[in-house]
Structure 1
Amino acid sequence: MPLICLRDIKKHYGGVNGAPKVAILHGIDLDIGTGEFVAIVGASGSGKSTLMHILGCLDPPSSGQYLFNGEDIATLDSDQLAALRREAFGFVFQAYHLIPTESARENVEVPAIYAGMNETVRQVRATELLQRLGLGERLDNRPSQLSGGQQQRVSIARALINGGHIILADEPTGALDNNTGEEVMNLLSDLAAQGHTVILITHDYKVAAQAQRVIDIQDGRIVSDSQDRHEDTREHNHRRPTGDALLPRSNPSNPHAIALIWDELRDACRAAWRVLRINRARTLLTLLGIIIGVASVVVMLAVGEGAKRQVMTEMNAMGPNMLYVSSTVPDNGGPRGVITEEDIAAMAQLPDVLRVMPILRDPALVRFGDISRRYEILATNEVMPAINRWPVAQGRFYSAEENRNVAPVAVLGYGVYQQFFPQGANPLGLQVLIKDAPYEIIGVMAEKGAESGYSYHDERLYLPRRTGMVRVFPAQRNESYIQLEALSSDQVDRLEQQLKTLLLERHGRDDFRVSSNAARLQAELATRNSMTLMLVLIAAISLLVGGIGVMNVMLMTVRERVREIGIRMATGARQQDILRQFVTEAALVSLLGGAIGAALSLAIIIVLDLAEVPVAPSLSALLGAIFCAMTTGIIFGLIPARQAARLNPVDALSGE
């Protein structure tokens, strides 16, 4: 059985969606045996290149049967066809079809990569092939740095890297001068003499005459075949074992699947990085969207987390086990409620109460020297520093006895102290006028705003409760509100229910309000969470826009590299190999943009921190944003990658 057997092969293009049908091949019957040197010659448009594409499994016939080594090609799927091109065929093209971004050695290695050849083995093999073809000093040169003859030698070495059992040479001398063309033909003749099956496609009858067998094709039909005249040579070649002209035939494939995948992925990353580096400006513009998106997400999350922590700090400063009771107008109407002394005493007797602090609060005119301002006056009992975990910075707080005796003493908030004593003088023993009545300054509270985030705590004066009732607010007989401290934060909810039950029993109606720090701060926390979520969503849109930018650039890249895709397919790349190549490039762009965006976000966070904006950077948020950026890039890169993987090899090779 011949190695290649064609029966009634026909090929036409068009005939779909109203397009005219153009027939190229009209019933080709052809047998080619192992070791033959065959020249298929014909004028331009005769169908010889189409026949070569069918022979090399680059393009399927429209009808007819193609048997390769007895197996019907029509039964093979795309991966099996790619394997056949990779293991059995080696292509030598008139236009060389070398990947411009790869060196000579890397171009030779391409089929070996897809064959799973170990990196070290394939590098040694490619180097040895190029050396034997006279290119030992040009290993690292790119195609643009090589002459036409040198590029054709590289393509021949590439055809032989996996064994090159069948060499398909399409016009290999068409773009060369006479001397270089003779050298290439001598190489092909040597390969044929050493057992390779060489199929030469040419329009030059002088070149075709150097083959053992010449097949003339005209208008898609074989018009002559010199097979009978070379029967003895053909029979001799059939008996000759097929071998590698330059290296022994061996299967250097990597037997380990994981190592193979890693090797292919590493090569894809290397090729992707080189493409990105060559197109620096476009890569930078693509990265910009990813960088902005990642930086925005990380910074917004840091600001949001900083706001949350500030709320928690405030909660701890104000006391998570604090409750507040105030009077109000009932929902069903009636006079405003009154919190009486008896109510306060009854609340103090509840088992879960640790401290009770009734508070009278109202603004009043305060004067010291030439300074006259309205400040809020809080009249409380002596437990105020303890219940609020708020120390006195200078002097002391008033005592229970001073409260009972209606003592005219006052404690300044830190902000009031700074207004009255900007030079930091000692205020103790001096007097301030509150509603024109003198009060001795006995202490200054520590700065509360620095701890809680709210400075209004420091803009107050604190008086004994009874002093406030008798001297400052004689007309205000009910309490502004009552602050209570539960024994622990775990008992806040239970104490809240106890207070509501107690006051409802005593008042007979719902004319009071009970709240807690936890409830108020949780509401604020929920608000800030909503704001953070909104900001993060806006930042995520930036990341999405960056992903769309990756897709647009990858689509452009696919269009620009159609010929490279065809070269890779012709040398044995499967659809998944092409898919992996372009997805890797998209992932690399996104990963690089994510890393730069993360670095930028850290710089912004440092600036915000120096500006005293509450921020709380998170490593998980940083890594998560980079991961999301890479995932976004991969998802959006899949569309152009799939488009590249589905290209027809022949159309891709002829693309620009």
Structure 2
Amino acid sequence: MTAPVTPVIELRDIYRTFRNGDEDVDVLKGVSLTILPGEFVAIVGASGSGKSTLMNLLGCLDRPTRGQYLFNGQDVSALSKDELAALRRDAFGFVFQSYNLLPGGTARENVEVPAVYAGVSRLERHRRAEALLTRLGLADRLGHQPGQLSGGQQQRVSIARALMNGGQVILADEPTGALDSHTGEEVMALFAELAAQGHTLILITHDAKVAAHADRVIEISDGVIMADQGPSLSQYEQRTPITATSLNTRPGNFFTNLGEALRMSLSALTGNLFRTVLTLLGIVIGVASVITMLAIGDGARQSIVDRISSMGSNLLLVRPGAPNQRGWGTTTLIPEDAYAVSELPGIVAAIPEQSGTVTLRAGGRDHSSEVMATSSAFSAVRSWPVEYGSFFTREDELDFASVAVLGQTAAKAVFPDQDPLGQYVMVDNVLFLVIGVISSRGASPMGRDEDDVIIVPFESGGVRLLGRRYLRTMTVAVASDADIYAAQQAVQDLLLRRHGVEDFQIRNMESIIESVTETQNTMTLLLGSIAAISLLVGGIGVMNIMLVSVTERTREIGVRMATGARTGNIMQQFLTEAVLVSALGGVLGVLIGLSVTLMLEKLGTDVAFSAMPVMLAFGCAFMTGLVFGYLPARKAAHLDPVVALASE
């Protein structure tokens, strides 16, 4: 006695209802159907009869509203999306009227798509795809894209794709509808050959001539099967059906899938190069801006801190005027205060300072410069050495000597063609002997040229040039082994005793450096934030382009789902594309940002290179792709396969 045959497909009282506004429309109405392994079945019906809806249900692209669907004896009605995708991947092959080939892929790459989602190695995929295409007469078209193939050749590629994972059940939807009669006959002969080899073929058509090639014809009208001769056991016994157990497929692991997603993403991005470049542009500008802005901010901060630190970290600055008030023009500090502070324990020197603008004249040349009246300890306390010649001495101060030390800029202005040492310079109306030229200091943090100066003894300069003895500032040098805060308190106590009121301000260099650093950090953060906004805008651009890409590639997504792509596969691919764009933009942005920063450094801008801004900018670009690519990827992954395949 012959063992009972398990149908490959069994439908029991299947209904499929769609919502049309406020009305439910039954497209399939209680369809019951049994198909044995190896059968060649044609489902025939007019347009609107429900045959395409039936095909979508048979191919697990859609779910019945109610009823039971058994595949190889397993109830698939309640399977999850990923379980249905696995079933399509392992058991089904689809041949569409419009071919539905991926436009950017070659014939071989299109055939390989189902095997990608089955986890087949790349080498094995190549071998299997080449064998199938050769078998179908396309050995010389392996590297051709769909646009380079005729309609018949494209249909053969889609048939090869349907066979890639074994093709236990091949569903062909109007496979000859877009072909001429001769090519259509060739395709139908090919289907007959596949049926003879044991593939279960289900042909969906409205053409009775095409249906006549099948062993069994099922007529459907208005969602109801009108005629069906039933399965033929004799045909089943004459063939050796291909079964799911003969398929050598397995789900790919994460890294295999990631590698394939990366390869497909590169193909998709290079396929629309101009749009990819525009998408990259926002990320590139954002990353380059972050790196450049932070480098400029850090460089400015470091420059200011270095300049202040170069004067020594053991200095106290005493200015006239009550705390929290501007001290310019006040007369609360006098030279005797500096002399008294110099006598305190732990104090190396206290130098009085007064300044003003004067006119230098020598050799028929006039030059406006700043005069600094100070003490002989100025050079040592301010760590500003003489380049050649000498600095004036304490005796020069006491003798009211008319000697001067020139800054580099002032020296070049009044003595451009001769050595200024031993020369006389008229400062306003007072003649001074140049005894030295001090080393170059460059621009101050405020941008003033510190080398455009003439330095003279305090007594002679204050009285004879500036006409005043009060101090603009007093700089106090504390011994290196002394406590600067204790020294500051001692100076404050002394000046309080001398003045009776607190009409002065004292700050130590450490607090100034901390304050400047804090201010510059705020400015750097502000610059970085402005640059980060451009990176954010670039991220929004990535999301926008990816959403457009999902819309444009909806049918491609449907094809991938039909060939076995799970939700995770689709999401991984689109996320990979978004991250790839952002990462590539990040790399280019880093290179451009570093190049611009180097160029600015060559032009004299203070910049500071460090790894952190580069890593931060690139990391933000990478995360931008991940965050802004998630929504488009999720939208793509949750598309309905039937809706996606029907899109134009």
Shared fold (TM-score, shorter chain, > 0.5):
yes
1:300 to 2:302 alignment: no
2:194 aligned residue (191, 196, 199): 191
Secondary structure at the aligned position of 2:450 is classed as helix
Cα separation, 2, equivalents of 1:354 and 1:184: 103
Q: What residue in structure 2 maps to residue 20 of structure 1?
A: 23
Q: What residue in structure 1 maps to residue 528 of structure 2?
A: 536
Q: What residue in structure 1 maps to residue 116 of structure 2?
A: 113
Opposite residue 528 of structure 1, the aligned amino acid is Q
Cα separation, 2, equivalents of 1:431 and 1:303: 43
Cα separation, 2, equivalents of 1:330 and 1:186: 101
TM-score by length of 1: 0.90
1:215 to 2:218 alignment: yes
Matches within 5 A, 1:56-95: 56-95=59-98
1:412 to 2:406 alignment: yes
CA offsets 1:178-206 (integer angstroms, 9 cap, x no match): 33223322322232222222212222223
Change (3 A) 1:104 1:477: closer
Q: What residue in structure 1 maps to residue 248 of structure 2?
A: 251
Q: What residue in structure 2 maps to residue 382 of structure 1?
A: 376
Change (3 A) 1:19 1:352: farther
1:476 to 2:468 alignment: yes
Cα separation, 1, equivalents of 2:528 and 2:393: 51
CA offsets 1:335-388 (integer angstroms, 9 cap, x no match): 977446664455334444333222343445544343455544333222211111
Q: What residue in structure 1 maps to residue 257 of structure 2?
A: 264
Contact 2:322–2:505 (CA under 8 A) maintained in structure 1: no
Contact 1:375–1:460 (CA under 8 A) maintained in structure 2: yes
Cα separation, 2, equivalents of 1:110 and 1:331: 75
Secondary structure at the aligned position of 2:296 is classed as helix
1:32 to 2:35 alignment: yes
Change (3 A) 1:153 1:308: same
Contact 1:318–1:452 (CA under 8 A) maintained in structure 2: no
2:10 aligned residue (5, 29, 32): 5
How high is the sequence identity, in percent, across the aligned residues?
48
Secondary structure at the aligned position of 2:139 is classed as coil
Q: What residue in structure 2 maps to residue 612 of structure 1?
A: 604
Contact 2:113–2:161 (CA under 8 A) maintained in structure 1: yes
Instruction: State which drifts further: 273-282 or 104-113.
Output: 273-282
Cα separation, 2, equivalents of 1:341 and 1:268: 78
Q: What residue in structure 2 maps to residue 104 of structure 1?
A: 107
Secondary structure at the aligned position of 1:31 is classed as strand
- Give the deviation of 1:492 after TM superposition: 3.3
Instruction: State which drifts further: 49-58 or 410-419.
Output: 410-419
Cα separation, 1, equivalents of 2:323 and 2:234: 117
Change (3 A) 1:441 1:217: same
1:143 aligned residue (141, 146, 157): 146
- Give the deviation of 1:152 after TM superposition: 1.6
Opposite residue 169 of structure 1, the aligned amino acid is A
CA offsets 1:90-110 (integer angstroms, 9 cap, x no match): 111121111111111111110
- Give the deviation of 1:88 after TM superposition: 1.2
- Give the deviation of 1:227 after TM superposition: 1.9
CA offsets 1:214-236 (integer angstroms, 9 cap, x no match): 222122111121126x3332355
Secondary structure at the aligned position of 1:120 is classed as helix
CA offsets 1:269-297 (integer angstroms, 9 cap, x no match): 22222222232222222222222222222
Opposite residue 93 of structure 2, the aligned amino acid is G
Opposite residue 638 of structure 2, the aligned amino acid is R
1:603 aligned residue (578, 585, 595): 595
Change (3 A) 1:172 1:330: closer
1:586 to 2:578 alignment: yes
Matches within 5 A, 1:407-556: 407-423=401-417, 425-434=418-427, 436-449=429-442, 455-468=448-461, 471-472=464-465, 476-488=468-480, 491-556=483-548
Cα separation, 2, equivalents of 1:552 and 1:297: 22
- Give the deviation of 1:54 after TM superposition: 0.2
Secondary structure at the aligned position of 2:172 is classed as strand
Change (3 A) 1:43 1:620: same
Matches within 5 A, 1:615-630: 615-630=607-622
Instruction: State which drifts further: 77-86 or 128-137.
Output: 128-137
Opposite residue 433 of structure 1, the aligned amino acid is M
Q: What residue in structure 2 maps to residue 232 of structure 1?
A: 234
CA offsets 1:400-433 (integer angstroms, 9 cap, x no match): 222233323222222221221122x122222233
Contact 1:317–1:452 (CA under 8 A) maintained in structure 2: no
Cα separation, 2, equivalents of 1:49 and 1:407: 110
Instruction: State which drifts further: 498-507 or 157-166.
Output: 498-507
Contact 1:590–1:630 (CA under 8 A) maintained in structure 2: yes
Change (3 A) 1:377 1:7: same
- Give the deviation of 1:628 after TM superposition: 1.6
Contact 2:323–2:505 (CA under 8 A) maintained in structure 1: no
Q: What residue in structure 2 maps to residue 49 of structure 1?
A: 52
Contact 2:536–2:624 (CA under 8 A) maintained in structure 1: yes
Cα separation, 2, equivalents of 1:231 and 1:437: 127
Cα separation, 2, equivalents of 1:156 and 1:341: 101
CA offsets 1:561-612 (integer angstroms, 9 cap, x no match): 1111110010011112111222222222222322333333233223322321
Opposite residue 138 of structure 2, the aligned amino acid is L
Instruction: State which drifts further: 214-223 or 502-511.
Output: 502-511
Secondary structure at the aligned position of 1:458 is classed as coil
Instruction: State which drifts further: 396-405 or 153-162.
Output: 396-405
CA offsets 1:474-504 (integer angstroms, 9 cap, x no match): x634443321122349943443233223433
RMSD: 2.8
Cα separation, 2, equivalents of 1:186 and 1:336: 108
Contact 1:12–1:23 (CA under 8 A) maintained in structure 2: yes
2:317 aligned residue (324, 342, 355): 324
Cα separation, 2, equivalents of 1:597 and 1:655: 37
Cα separation, 2, equivalents of 1:391 and 1:591: 51
Secondary structure at the aligned position of 1:29 is classed as strand
Cα separation, 1, equivalents of 2:559 and 2:174: 16
Q: What residue in structure 2 maps to residue 572 of structure 1?
A: 564
Secondary structure at the aligned position of 2:557 is classed as helix
Q: What residue in structure 1 maps to residue 3 of structure 2?
A: none
Contact 1:105–1:123 (CA under 8 A) maintained in structure 2: yes
Contact 1:5–1:67 (CA under 8 A) maintained in structure 2: yes
CA offsets 1:132-155 (integer angstroms, 9 cap, x no match): 121111111111111222212211
2:553 aligned residue (551, 557, 561): 561
Contact 2:389–2:435 (CA under 8 A) maintained in structure 1: yes
Secondary structure at the aligned position of 1:361 is classed as strand
Contact 1:324–1:482 (CA under 8 A) maintained in structure 2: yes
1:152 to 2:155 alignment: yes
Change (3 A) 1:164 1:435: closer
Cα separation, 1, equivalents of 2:287 and 2:59: 47
Opposite residue 407 of structure 2, the aligned amino acid is G
Cα separation, 1, equivalents of 2:549 and 2:335: 82
Opposite residue 183 of structure 1, the aligned amino acid is E
Secondary structure at the aligned position of 1:112 is classed as helix
1:643 aligned residue (631, 635, 640): 635
Gaps of at least 5 residues in structure 2 are: 1-5
- Give the deviation of 1:8 after TM superposition: 1.1
Q: What residue in structure 1 maps to residue 275 of structure 2?
A: 282
Change (3 A) 1:478 1:337: closer
Instruction: State which drifts further: 150-159 or 34-43.
Output: 34-43
Contact 1:330–1:509 (CA under 8 A) maintained in structure 2: no
What count of residue pairs does the alignment treat as equivalent?
A: 641
Opposite residue 251 of structure 1, the aligned amino acid is N
CA offsets 1:57-90 (integer angstroms, 9 cap, x no match): 1011122111223332232111101001101111
Opposite residue 231 of structure 1, the aligned amino acid is L
Cα separation, 1, equivalents of 2:290 and 2:324: 45
Secondary structure at the aligned position of 1:457 is classed as coil
1:309 to 2:302 alignment: yes
Opposite residue 468 of structure 2, the aligned amino acid is Q
Q: What residue in structure 1 maps to residue 177 of structure 2?
A: 174
